[in-house]
Amino acid sequence: MNNERIRIAVVGGDRRQELLTTLWQKDGRDAVWIRDARDLPALGAAGLTVFPTPMRRPDGTVGESGIPAEELLRLLPSGSIAVGGRVPEALRAFAAARGVTLLDYTEREDFAIPGALATAEAALALGLTELPITVQGSACLVAGAGRIGMLLARRLALLGAWVTVSARASRDLARIAADGLRPIPTADLAAHAGGFDLLYNTIPAVVFTEEVLSAMRPDALLFDLASSPGGVDWDAARALGRQARAELSLPARYAPLSAAACLRDCIDHIWEEET
């Protein structure tokens, strides 16, 4: 980001947003952290406003602020730029009508790739700390062959795990095999689920159905890394007593400083491109 003294307003009360503000301040930027309604006056002078991921929660509010997204957008100066994660189209249109450019940083590769790496590393840490046996020699399943799935699968394999990756498309199954991993169709999860000590889901659709969960061993661990609604039938998991849980926002939770630095660099690129 150039040295123009624009006001940067960072909205949201989680650790990543706090560290993002601090990083910009250390860079000599005029950055302020908007945690609650008491800080709202600073938005009126913001040339750049940063919202969290997701930008709008199901109840319509932004992050931990408890303030509706539309109310915050109304406070931004016309001609300013705002960025957020998983921005609804309705909010983009609302912002545009007020003369504010609202962009989504989660759609960019310079955010997605470092974020996937951090997620894979944190997911690996979960397995290392919570599996009652060593990862080396264990049987692991990664459902989904996207960025996170393949980064995680390769790291598990480097630690000596027997790694299976599921995918739907034949090209992805071929790519999995080319990496020296075992490929299976996602549709066949139920036929294979009983053979794993540690399972991860990265698919944002319910693929761990009651049938698949029933086939799992009771002592197996299942971590769902996928965005809402996730990939697990949670009612079935509870009824069957399976050890399954959702693990969202791993970069911000396990490596908040790295997550903040990644977001800073991405937004700096956005500002340079837009201005």
SS3 at position 120: helix
pLDDT at 3: 47
Low-confidence ranges of the chain (pLDDT < 70): 1-4
Contacts of residue 60, Cβ cutoff 8 Å, sequence gap at least 6: 68, 69, 70
Contact 147, 112 (CB under 8 A): yes
pLDDT at 2: 52
For residue 164, which of 104, 179, 27 has the smallest C-alpha distance? 179
pLDDT at 227: 87
Angle among Cα 225, 226, 229 to the nearest 5 degrees reads 130
Residue 151 structure tokens: 């980064």
Contact 20, 49 (CB under 8 A): no
pLDDT at 244: 98
pLDDT at 1: 53
